[in-house]
Amino acid sequence: MRGGGLWQLGQSITRRLAQVDKKGAGRRYFASEAELKKTVLYDFHVANGGKMVPFAGWGMPIQYKDSIMESTVNCRQNGSLFDVSHMCGFSLKGKDCIPFLEKLVIADVAALTPGTGTLTVFTNEKGGAIDDSVITKVQNDHMYIVVNAGCRDKDLAHIEEHMKAFKAKGGDVSWHIHDERSLLALQGPLAAPVLQHLTKDDLSKLYFGEFRMTDINGAHCYITRTGYTGEDGFEISVPSENAVDLAKAILEKSEGKIRLTGLGARDSLRLEAGLCLYGNDMEQHITPVEAGLTWAIGKRRKAEGGFLGAEVILKQLAEGPKIRLVGFTSTGPPPRSHSEIQDEKGTTIGEITSGGFSPCLKKNIAMGYVKSGSHKAGTKAKILVRGKAYDGVVTKKPFVPTKYYKSS
Amino acid sequence: MHFLNSLAVVKDFKYAESHEWVKVDGKTATVGITDHAQDHLGDVVYVELPEVGAAVNQGSGFGAVESVKATSDIYSPVSGDVVEVNEDLNNSPGLVNSSPYEKGWIMKVEIKDDSELTNLKNSDEYAKFCEEEDAKH
């Protein structure tokens, strides 16, 4: 291993995780500690053994005292608490906020029941993904939206541009970026029982995708029953001045079973759950159809269009996309982003976009794009790692079964 | 930036700045990566071993160690021919983490030129080198 290379190791970890923001990336990776943004939990992470690394312009914990593998396994056995305050939460308000938003995303926003949310994609004129996002209808005149940290500047500029045009035509929409709030993600089987100790609200009635504004540990929070791990859990938006106390309360109530968990394990967990990481599995030139998110395109939207890039997307729905995102398991070293995928004869058929060793399954898992026709589960392939070809097979996602709390 | 500080070095081994160790026994050298290296890498999930019979050169890459999140090339601290590789690492790559200086050894090399060993650090020099490296970050 190269001398100084261990520092570069930390860099390569963040390079792998932080490809969400290539513009200005060089500047950010080598930003001094003073230039990195800090969440209100920064000192709390350090005090708890957090290894801090630069991520999308923020100083974030990649792991704590336990290893990434241990952390990942613990999330599914007990639970994990993540600080995801670097992500950007904002509200769209106004009586026309729904038609405004519908121009920018593929979801059937109008059909969402108040108090429910969904994963969606912000598209560009070519039908490509600007970002993926969880959008929630609070009321018919209030949408609560969370976007990726690495895409914050890009997304907000995009929305602002469209908002100006929309308002110029007389549309009633305004926004507020929730920089006064912090975001915690609580995931795993103990998430609900532990959180229940801290709120009077009956969490057993809050199902996957549902949203509520409620008091937790005495703080006015927004909670959504959702996450990025495949486990049952919540994303909790809390006023920043209450964030550290809430984190402490959650950890204490769990008697140490729920652990502070970093971005390293977060990446392993989402890969095991077959979830896309924007910047790796989805980019500006990839459509939601190619990325396997056709289910997220509202039925009415498929019929009517009316969002950026609809013509491209509707055409792909009719004819089938030329490439598709699929899962892989493989032998040998773990495939990494940009590993070439070949068919059994050695012809290139695609490229890996995310890969690693699954701590829970104890085997390699990966996601990548292959040309249509080679995408069926069970298709044998070769994956090139450092010049050598290893056996791989197209595998259905999620790799680890999900545990979303759904009403039967 | 903060890094965990768990530094173990073995007195009689020699060390490269690229964090490999070598234990010399006559003409045979056993090679692995240091405790410092495995600690920074995290859980090792795969080790790319060299072929028995392959020639290695001091300072040149001879394989790779994969952790959950990243790949690291490993560089030979000695020149010579590979006479044995640790096949246990195929099924138990974690030995590199749990026993970096013993059970987690990677390869054995028949050395051609032991004067090259003077290019390496002793345990005190290596320990100091690691402290300085960590302090920079």
Give the number of C-alpha atoms closer than 13 A to the C-alpha of residue A11, restricted to the C-beta side: 13
> A329 and A395 in contact (C-beta within 8 Å)?
yes
> A218 and A178 in contact (C-beta within 8 Å)?
no
DSSP one-letter string for A253-302 = HTTTSEEE--HHHHHHHHHHTT---BTTTB-TT--TTTTT-GGGS-HHHH
pLDDT at A366 over 90: yes
Contacts of A22 (CB under 8 A, 6+ apart): A279
- Nearest of A273, A355, A258, A271 to residue A64 by alpha carbon: A258
pLDDT at A325 over 70: yes
Number of H-type helices and E-type strands within chain B: 4, 9
B68 interfacial to chain A (CB closer than 8 Å): yes
Shortest alpha-carbon distance between residue B76 and chain A (Å) = 9
Coil, helix or strand for B88? helix
Put simply, the answer to whether B68 touches A5 (Cβ < 8 Å) is no
The C-alpha atoms of residue B121 and residue A140 are separated, in whole angstroms, by 69
Taking only the tens place, the pLDDT of each residue in A29-38 is 444 556 899 9
Chain B residues within 8 A of A49 when measuring between CB atoms: 4
Which residues of A contribute to the annotated binding site for substrate? 235
**CA dist A43 → A38, A47, A50, A51, A254 (Å):** 9, 6, 9, 11, 21
pLDDT at A11 over 50: no
Q: What is the token pair recorded at A9?
A: 């190791």
> B74 and A396 in contact (C-beta within 8 Å)?
no
Question: Cβ-count burial of A206 within 10 angstroms (0-12 exposed, 13-18 middle, 19+ buried)?
Answer: buried
Element holding B132 (H helix, E strand): helix B123-136
Shortest alpha-carbon distance between residue B110 and chain A (Å) = 21
* pLDDT score of B7: 66
Put simply, the answer to whether A333 touches B37 (Cβ < 8 Å) is no
Nearest residue on chain A to B94, alpha-carbon basis = A69
Q: DSSP H helical segments within A57-120, as ranges?
A: 68-77, 97-102
The C-alpha atoms of residue B20 and residue A128 are separated, in whole angstroms, by 45
A16 interfacial to chain B (CB closer than 8 Å): yes
The C-alpha atoms of residue A103 and residue A98 are separated, in whole angstroms, by 9
> B83 and B109 in contact (C-beta within 8 Å)?
yes
pLDDT at A23 over 60: no
What angle, rounded to 10 degrees, do the helices at B123-136 and A5-17 form?
Answer: 40
Shortest alpha-carbon distance between residue B37 and chain A (Å) = 7
Nearest residue on chain A to B72, alpha-carbon basis = A1
Which whole number is the average pLDDT over A212-216?
A: 97
- Comparing CB atoms, the residue among B16, B20, B40 nearest residue A6 is B40
- Comparing CB atoms, the residue among A50, A68, A386 nearest residue B68 is A68
How many Cβ contacts (< 8 angstroms) between chains A and B? 97
Phi, psi at B56, each rounded to 5°:
-125, 155
A9 interfacial to chain B (CB closer than 8 Å): yes
Put simply, the answer to whether A356 touches B68 (Cβ < 8 Å) is yes
ipTM exceeding 0.90, yes/no: no
pLDDT in tens, chain B (137 residues): 223 345 688 889 999 999 999 999 999 999 999 999 998 888 899 999 999 999 999 999 999 999 987 789 999 999 999 999 999 999 999 999 999 999 999 999 999 888 999 999 999 999 999 988 888 76
* pLDDT score of B100: 96
Chain A residues within 8 A of B17 when measuring between CB atoms: 3
Q: What is the token pair recorded at A292?
A: 């396997």
* pLDDT score of A7: 40
Element holding B85 (H helix, E strand): strand B80-85
Coil, helix or strand for B61? strand
> Is the whole-model pTM more than 0.90?
no
* pLDDT score of B68: 81
* pLDDT score of A33: 57
- Comparing CB atoms, the residue among A33, A334, A359 nearest residue B66 is A334
The DSSP secondary-structure symbol of B115 reads: G
> A381 and A370 in contact (C-beta within 8 Å)?
yes
Phi, psi at A32, each rounded to 5°:
-70, 165
In B5-44, the residues whose Cβ lies within 8 Å of chain A are 16-20, 33, 36-37, 40-43
